[in-house]
Structure 1
């Protein structure tokens, strides 16, 4: 006889309706909350399993109090203030810590500190929950190089000499102290503010009409990194104010142009790890273990930040979905081309990128519709709809997809497919196509290795004066290698983004030299001086015929002037042109220019 319904275990389930809605960007707030609750349950189980396993090897606990004490303190806090404990469990870095420490324990290794320090972080989690619940308590927490972290609240700083030690946290009636080796830090009443010996976790709040956004800027939690614990990196006060302004601007843009997403994002994205600005790069990253968090570099403007937040939110949602449903069979092979990475990707990474940039394309599409005069929005929409569709088409035929995975991609395609035919300003579309061709050709030159026998046959035919190649270039079946052959420069794409930037972007002649890796030929190409660009790339190849960016740049510049066999070869099979020219350089005392080999091979490359 089955147990009564009240006694049966409850499971987190995802309906096909919700699954399809997430695929199409139609998720709502309630769906996002259910996804977050599933993550919270997963973490609770993971922590319980971690502490149970750790208790079996008490010699690994070092000077820590019993782990049962942390569990009991969490239970007390939950009885008093369940929402506080729920917030601690949904803190993204609780997930990062639990996953990282479980792997250490399973492998019997220490990580970046003794294992007991990582295990002891559960006492810090329990102490933070107890403070939030306003309990009377006393416990000990780890101290890393003088830093005692209370997750999601802040960090006490001590002048410790030992790299790893313990501090005592105690308090009553909402007044709490942290003591270590004769020093005491009194926690301020407003924990997010700074005080003597205390750094609080800053909170940024933005309200747009009925929409409320709240993000922690966490520069303190040791488990906020992507792979392993990292030290605190306090963001200067001036940069915090810049973050506040940019977050407010980004939230307003999302609320105005994607109002449905604005209702969902605050549920799934609660914390940012702020990083310094990197010139011409919108750096961001996230991990499935830290549901709710993204590592983000300081952007230049609110639109850039809005696109980045949407990108990372998409990663977060997909990470949560993958904890509930299998979309693909395990396959770590780095074998798939995606237009946003310079290296081959496994299917898991490619799928993550498709979903993330689908969201980015939706954002720029909305901005382009709202402001038809924005060259930037038109270009970015044209670019990301093309990039995400290119990768999606490749993934839909992949044999490692499950039935659910194919259904998920079909849902994305239902929205993304029709966008390919939407009218976009002609110049923006042309530039987006050039960027796509540029990157694909550069990837081919660096990651594909032609058959040596074909290369030798072509080189011999050239040396024997054959007017046409004996074999047609067939670039379709070459498997990629993750080890790149040469470096790649994204300077042309950076310059094009400067060209299409909406005012008040600085004039390109004043700033192009600040673009990393940019050459005079790149500047000429980006500004439409194609004859000058051709001569510039010819000169670059005369100096270094192996440089991938120069090979592809010459192909782009020649193509921009009209049909040309060398352009066809350099853009469709640059790896073959490069390999044949290398062979000739190794066997002939006076090898021809790369362009001549490209024009010869290009006779048999379809236009």
Structure 2
């Protein structure tokens, strides 16, 4: 941050430079000399070269930087650019109150690719509360004209609006006013305050409530503009980086150079006490590497270790990061405190996470151990099912999000969520959603409307929707296939749960097998079921379906008698089977959780092996959807290791089944072979700590069998 001007033409009463504890501005040169800027550029170039930095973010700041005038600003910019040319690129910005911005400045900034951010606190009433001239005149009209000039004449250099929050202003009026200027981004900034000089408030969480009102409106509007506070919370709640200095645990990389060339810490620290941001170093005598050794800067590089004990114990630490460093100050304990906005930040972060984050499904250690041991408890399988439900919801909502509002989505939103989830749980809905999101044509192809029809029928509702006809038919997941020859579209009418398809010539209902009280869908109709690497068979005849029922029933009985511990796996991980052509064998697909593709073997014993093997793969896929068992690096080694783990986990159940069948005589050699594979996985260094524990638990199971 380069302070090119130490004076301002407005008298904003919330300004941290002029209205708070540090008054060092009074002794600074009014404008930075070109020679000083040249030395700044030299220091930046040295630092970029020594640290291997190829891009530097620089902000021209003040005071009000436009008071320099176009000529002086042009000279300063040229001095900065020439000093780093050939060493690193500059991402150059300027922050201004906008009242002096005109075409001369805009032409200068466009020529040097300087992005312009303007301070505006909302509508006229909000802006006039603080941003006035010394004689009390409003600055609003001039700022609004400047923004309009940027928006219409120089959109390529318009970077956004900076708004300082005052909870006495109407939050929605402020938001609407800011959005009306079509900004590329908005910063909503908490007013600068400390524990010694707290912010204005009427209640404990005024600022959270104010921001939450805007967040809800912003979310309902479809997030029309990036708002850094909200985007940062969303990012960190999903494991991503913080996007603003005032939140998150990223090390601070901000250094300030004053008009006289002195290096300072973040200028917001001026609110703490007189001299608070000083480092005792300057561009003429010290390098940036030397400044980085200053304790105040080093303290902001330590992540959670640099925070108070209260912050380190907080559940929203990753998103909050203790808030802005300056806001933690209190006489006696310095900056070793939570933010003065602590309660507001916690409430806001929790509100945002509730609204937009995918539900979190913690996997207790005991549940994960039960899965790793080979079987998995009912609780463990329930957790995997919940995770899959959230994934399906998110994927289907993403497909819908690309299409915009639709009558089928409105219908789904009126149906009891549990009923919608029953229809969404069809295994090939995830396959469909992933294909739509990855494919070149990402629009919904009518399946969303089909899901809405199936859910409405299950809920006993009445509705009418138009659906496209594909390959002469309409398919409703979990319901069946309706033949509509010669049509491109048809009307589906639901009355009290009964479905009528206009001009339907034939109806093929989804078949189900009854095995051990568990209904198992035979999916021989879904047009996206052909994803298992083997050609899907056509519709089963009634005689074939009867044969499937007999063989499945017998196999289920054998597993219930010989390996009852695997029944939670079968009922929790298997909801559909897809008939395929070819030699008797089975396969599963990662995106089709709950489904196995089978060419039916002639005897129940072989079917037991196929079912146990493939449901193990389904179960492990569900674990990998929720937990990182492997280090996140895309290497051939880790891909091969994942395949080895999947094969070994499948063989674990098969070995168990066969050793029980032979009263322990069979399986020692197979167990030894699996153990050797697991040892190679453990030696590969591609597992996370969680993954290592998972594989070690598998090995303990095999050791117990060998003993």
TM-score by length of 2: 0.48
The CA deviation at 1:142 is 3.1
CA contact (8 A) 2:520 2:576 kept: yes
Aligned twin of 1:156 = 482
The CA deviation at 1:392 is 1.7
The CA deviation at 1:83 is 3.2
Matching of residues 198-277 of structure 1 within 5 Å: 198-207=507-516, 212-226=517-531, 233-276=538-581
1:170 correspondence with 2:508: no
Aligned twin of 1:3 = 347
The CA deviation at 1:36 is 0.3
Looking at secondary structure, tell me which structure has more helix per residue. 1
Looking at structure 1, the residues matched to 627 and 663 of structure 2 have their Cα atoms a distance apart, in angstroms, of: 35
Aligned twin of 2:308 = none
Unmatched tracts of structure 1, length 5 or more? 56-66, 186-196, 337-344, 373-377, 423-607
The CA deviation at 1:54 is 3.5
- Aligned counterpart in structure 2 of residue 360 of structure 1, from 650, 654, 669: 654
Matching of residues 62-141 of structure 1 within 5 Å: 67-78=405-416, 82-104=417-439, 109-110=440-441, 116=443, 118-141=444-467
Aligned twin of 1:474 = none
The CA deviation at 1:360 is 1.1
1:325 correspondence with 2:627: yes
Alpha carbons of structure 1 residues 417 and 276: separation in structure 2 relative to 1, 3 Å: same
The CA deviation at 1:145 is 0.9
The CA deviation at 1:19 is 1.2
Alpha carbons of structure 1 residues 333 and 200: separation in structure 2 relative to 1, 3 Å: same
Secondary structure of residue in 2 paired with 1:144: coil
Aligned twin of 1:519 = none
1:184 correspondence with 2:501: no
1:408 correspondence with 2:408: no
- Aligned counterpart in structure 2 of residue 347 of structure 1, from 616, 625, 641: 641
| Aligned-CA RMSD value | 2.7
CA contact (8 A) 1:213 1:251 kept: no
CA contact (8 A) 1:220 1:232 kept: no
Aligned twin of 1:388 = 674
Looking at structure 1, the residues matched to 466 and 536 of structure 2 have their Cα atoms a distance apart, in angstroms, of: 20
Matching of residues 415-494 of structure 1 within 5 Å: 415-419=701-705, 421=706
Looking at structure 1, the residues matched to 542 and 414 of structure 2 have their Cα atoms a distance apart, in angstroms, of: 36
Looking at structure 2, the residues matched to 359 and 225 of structure 1 have their Cα atoms a distance apart, in angstroms, of: 26
Looking at structure 2, the residues matched to 24 and 331 of structure 1 have their Cα atoms a distance apart, in angstroms, of: 26
Equivalent pairs, count: 358
Secondary structure of residue in 1 paired with 2:446: helix
Alpha-carbon displacement from aligned partner over 1:406-447 (angstroms, at most 9, x marks no partner): 11110100011343x46xxxxxxxxxxxxxxxxxxxxxxxxx
CA contact (8 A) 1:222 1:232 kept: no
Secondary structure of residue in 2 paired with 1:50: helix
Looking at structure 2, the residues matched to 136 and 127 of structure 1 have their Cα atoms a distance apart, in angstroms, of: 9
Aligned twin of 2:684 = 398
Aligned twin of 1:38 = 387
Looking at structure 2, the residues matched to 383 and 275 of structure 1 have their Cα atoms a distance apart, in angstroms, of: 32
Alpha carbons of structure 1 residues 390 and 231: separation in structure 2 relative to 1, 3 Å: closer
Unmatched tracts of structure 2, length 5 or more? 1-342
Aligned twin of 2:592 = 290
Looking at structure 1, the residues matched to 606 and 397 of structure 2 have their Cα atoms a distance apart, in angstroms, of: 40
CA contact (8 A) 2:464 2:494 kept: yes
Looking at structure 1, the residues matched to 628 and 526 of structure 2 have their Cα atoms a distance apart, in angstroms, of: 31
Alpha-carbon displacement from aligned partner over 1:367-401 (angstroms, at most 9, x marks no partner): 1118x7xxxxx3xx356434433322221211221
Secondary structure of residue in 1 paired with 2:663: helix
Aligned twin of 2:373 = 24
CA contact (8 A) 1:100 1:228 kept: no
Alpha-carbon displacement from aligned partner over 1:301-340 (angstroms, at most 9, x marks no partner): 111111111111111111111111111135666569xxxx
The CA deviation at 1:120 is 2.0
CA contact (8 A) 1:223 1:229 kept: no
TM-score by length of 1: 0.55
Alpha carbons of structure 1 residues 230 and 6: separation in structure 2 relative to 1, 3 Å: farther
Alpha carbons of structure 1 residues 229 and 283: separation in structure 2 relative to 1, 3 Å: closer
Looking at structure 1, the residues matched to 669 and 418 of structure 2 have their Cα atoms a distance apart, in angstroms, of: 43
CA contact (8 A) 1:155 1:200 kept: yes
